[in-house]
Amino acid sequence: MNEKVVVAFSGGLDTSFCVVYLKQQGYDVVTVTVSTGELDGNELKNIENKALALGSLHHYNIDAKKKVYDQIIQYIIKLNGLYEGDYPLLCADRYAIVEEVLKIAKEESADVVAHGCTGAGNDQVRFDAAISALNPHIKILSPVRDLEMTRVKEIDFLKSNGFDVDTPLKKYSINKNVFGVTVSGSEIDENKEPDSNAYTLTKKTISTKHCKYITMGFEKGLPVSLNEKPMSGSKILKELNTLVGAYGFGSEIYTGDCVIGIKGRILFEAPGLLTLIKCHQKLEQIILTKQQLTFNRYASHSWSDLVYGGLYYEPLTKNLEKYADSVQYNVNGTVKVKLEQNSMKIVEVQSPNSLIGRRKVIYAQKSAGSGDQVKGFIKFYSMQQTMVGSK
């Protein structure tokens, strides 16, 4: 009886090569497609048919969009999670993919899993590290990386084994998921301005003269309503990707430090997630204390660095998520946003837990104490500085 391998199958060239190659190596191949984006039923069916045609014994289609929001995106919002201050962790859906693939491996009694990562990117770290953390005894295969395959070699291999390969010349490498879109390749890799065709979510479709106001409600640090209509967080994110993206806001050209020790440059589009993070930050500013806000910056940096770097299952990651849950308890309120072409501005923030105006104190308008009390405070507050300066 042949050994069974479960392949994380996207339907692209790399994972197609994996199915045929592993079958030739004597494995019984089972494929799993984990949808973390906007794949519709027809697209998923086409991927399934492709997997079976390549030689998969069984194929599974799994919808993990809600899982991605509940496990990962909620903490990106709560912790204002931007890797190196810019990148909103569009790569973090890989952990949900790994979890679902391992579930199928258990159902299929398979002791081997495989992915199509190359040796050139960060995803190989995320996949391998996550798989090992969740099941240290399972064997991991990565044929494209291990054989140092190129696209040309993969295409030739598939054709030589009787499989037609649809190989249109693609200017960009594009990855879409519930977060948004990442784009690399061509002039982006050359540190040049991306062509207008590189953009999808943030193509400007709204007139320069047209503006729009939207309101979001937050409870315990998470979005719960859009324009006063109760809605799930994942639905709000999807709506904002379309609504805010139409104004051209939410795309960035980002150069950052990769896990594998090099720098990488990409274009990403995440209008919904960037809007939610910015709204959440403004809400926190009127609710949390100075000490909480200061520590939040450390927590955000640490959590984002761990998740980006393949260490989602590191205990500190989970510790920081527990911290986020506790500190967000009072982060409730509404945020009003003004949308204009290429612009998203937060114009009003309201909360029943706001520290502004408590005890009738208003910045630069009304003091909490008498003149003598304030002078006494300043004297003691600056005493050490005064003592050093008087030497």
Strands (E), 78-195: 112-114, 139-141, 173-176, 181-184
Q: Summarize the chain as % helix, strand, coil (round to 5).
A: 45, 20, 35
- Pair 284, 213 in one domain: yes
Q: What is the DSSP string of 248-282?
A: T-SEEEEEEE-TTSSEEEEEEE-HHHHHHHHHHHH
Q: What are the tens digits of pLDDT across the range 239-253?
A: 999 999 999 999 999
Domain shared by 142 and 275, yes or no? no
pLDDT at residue 1 is higher than 80 = no
Nearest to 47 by CA among 37, 36, 57, 33: 33
246 Cβ contact list (under 8 Å, min separation 6): 204, 205, 206
The answer to whether position 382 is within a domain reads: no
Helix (H/G/I), strand (E/B), else coil: 175: strand
Write b or e for each residue in 15-30: b if 16 or more Cβ atoms lie within 10 A of its Cβ, otherwise e.
bbbbbbbbbeeebbbb
pLDDT digits (tens, 9 = 90+) for 322-376: 999 999 999 999 999 999 999 999 999 999 999 986 555 554 455 566 888 888 9
Instruction: Mark whether 46 and 188 lie in a shared domain.
Output: no
Beta strand 222-226 with 229-230 is: antiparallel
232 falls within a domain: yes
Same domain, 121 and 184: no
pLDDT at site 355: 93
Would you tell me how many other CB atoms lie within 10 Å of the CB of residue 360? 9
Considering the domain boundaries, does residue 314 fall inside one? no
Domain CATH for 154: 3.40.50.620
Q: Exposed (0-12), middle (13-18) or buried (19+): which is 64, by Cβ within 10 Å?
A: buried
My answer on whether 337 and 189 are in the same domain is yes
Say how far apart CA 9 and CA 74 lie, in whole Å. 26
Give the residue numbers spanning the domain of 17: 4-160
Q: In DSSP terms, which residues pair with 265 in a beta bridge?
A: 255
Q: What is the pLDDT of residues 281-296, one digit of tens each?
A: 999 999 999 999 999 9
Is 34 domain-assigned? yes
DSSP letter at 81 equals -
CATH number at residue 232: 3.90.1260.10
What percentage of the chain has pLDDT greater than the value 90? Answer: 77
pLDDT tens-digit readout, 70-128? 999 999 999 999 999 999 999 999 999 999 999 999 999 999 999 999 998 899 999 99
